[in-house]
């Protein structure tokens, strides 16, 4: 039998997933207006997940979308361990799409907060295995 506590936890998880999908949709709309084209959304591997994979002018962009109560908290929520998982997932994406390996690549963050314009942080971090950071 499922208890009240388990039901509350499941409800909170579903609500968070809905907010995440809405945030990604808002981020995608914003970035499309800036000229980016969607290649993949919610790309998952055993190594990690990439919220949005976009293309623009010969550049492939891996985007992490974060929504918090304020933009500073959203930026702080992207921790080094998460960056590493996203970077690993990006390597897997490139392996699965070898034609894109020749393109320049970048890791961006799209930060969202209530009643604020989105903040697009280009080149938010770099792949340390390739000598960037």
Q: In this structure, what token pair is assigned to residue 32? A: 């499309």
Instruction: Please give the sequence-ordered ranges of beta strands (E in DSSP) within the chain, or none if there are none.
Output: 37-44, 49-56, 59-67, 104-112, 119-125
Mean pLDDT of the chain: 89
Asked if residues 106 and 62 have their Cβ atoms less than 8 Å apart, the reply is yes
pLDDT at residue number 2: 59
0.75 cut: is pTM over it?
A: yes
Q: Which residues pair with 55 in a beta bridge?
A: 37, 60
Q: Which residues pair with 90 in a beta bridge?
A: none
Cα angle: 45, vertex 129, 39; to 5 degrees: 40
Domains identified in the chain and CATH numbers: 4-130 (3.40.1350.10)
User: Assign residue 127 a region: left if phi > 0, alpha if psi is -120 to 50, beta otherwise?
Assistant: beta
Question: What CA–CA distance (Å, rounded) separates 10 from 130?
Answer: 40
pLDDT digits (tens, 9 = 90+) for 72-95: 999 999 999 999 999 999 999 999
pLDDT digits (tens, 9 = 90+) for 43-55: 999 888 999 999 9
């Amino acid at each position: 039998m499922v208890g009240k506590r388990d039901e509350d936890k499941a409800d909170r998880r579903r609500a968070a997933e809905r907010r995440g999908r809405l945030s990604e949709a808002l981020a995608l709309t914003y970035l499309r207006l800036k000229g980016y084209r969607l290649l993949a959304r919610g790309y998952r591997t055993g190594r990690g997940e990439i919220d949005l994979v976009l293309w623009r002018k010969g550049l492939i962009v891996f985007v992490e979308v974060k929504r918090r109560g304020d933009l500073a908290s959203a930026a702080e929520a992207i921790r080094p361990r998460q960056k590493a998982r996203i970077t690993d997932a990006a390597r897997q994406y490139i392996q699965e799409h070898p034609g894109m390996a020749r393109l320049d690549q970048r890791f961006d963050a799209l930060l969202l907060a209530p009643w604020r314009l989105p903040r697009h942080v280009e080149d938010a971090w770099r792949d340390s295995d390739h000598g960037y950071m």
